[in-house]
Amino acid sequence: MITPPAPRRPAPGGGLAVLVVVTVLAWLAASHAQALRGLLTGGLAGIASAAPPDPPAIRTPAPGAARAVAFALRQCGKPYRWGADGPGAYDCSGLTWAAWRAAGVAIPRSATGQLAALPRVRGRLQPGDLIIYRSRGPSRRHVAMVVGGGRMIEAPARGVPVRVTRLRSGFLGAVRPGAGR
């Protein structure tokens, strides 16, 4: 009598690994989708709805901020290259410069120039604001753009593409292009 082969059992932990990978991918997709959905349906109001409500004293966002954020988000995944300002690659200040240029607002090209020349943020950060950090790179400065919901977009370093990540504390300053002095 021929006995049928025993059923195969999955490798131990294999299903858990797949579950973890799927969960992480879903979380990443959801964070980008929420920001993009907000831009498409309600401009800055859609992005701001993902964040806790603003206190009543907050001024309206700078003109063009929604366009700058939308432009920056479309660059996700493009490579980092020192000195690049698009369209195929970006460094940190090249990304913020190109995004605000696409929104019709001229800003300095370097992170140091952006911090020195643009109006400082008073109060809460808003989408489109630029956050400048200390860095070990050649310019000693790094800049990222607030996209809302406690997140920012940045072109961080060689080997790391343009990405959306959580806001980090410890920045040198925050500026608001287009807000006037």
Query: Total domain count for the chain?
Result: 1
Q: Is residue 59 predicted with pLDDT exceeding 50?
A: no
In a domain, 129, yes or no: yes
Largest CA distance in the chain: 90
The dihedral built from the CA positions of residue 103, 122, 141 and 39, taken in this order, carries a sign that is negative
Please, what is the end-to-end C-alpha distance for the chain in angstroms?
Answer: 90
pLDDT in tens, 74-131: 999 999 999 999 999 999 999 999 999 999 999 999 999 999 999 999 999 999 999 9
In a domain, 1, yes or no: no
Range of the domain at 126: 63-175
pLDDT confidence tier of residue 21, bands split at 50, 70 and 90: very low
Q: Is residue 4 predicted with pLDDT exceeding 70?
A: no
- Evaluate if pTM is beyond 0.95: no
In a domain, 87, yes or no: yes
In a domain, 151, yes or no: yes
pLDDT confidence tier of residue 67, bands split at 50, 70 and 90: very high
Cβ atoms of 146 and 126 within 8 Å: the answer is yes
Q: Is residue 27 predicted with pLDDT exceeding 50?
A: no
In a domain, 72, yes or no: yes
In a domain, 27, yes or no: no
Select from 4, 122, 147, 136 the least CA-distant residue to 70.
147
Q: Is residue 72 predicted with pLDDT exceeding 60?
A: yes
In a domain, 111, yes or no: yes
Provide the CATH number for the domain around residue 69.
3.90.1720.10
In a domain, 180, yes or no: no
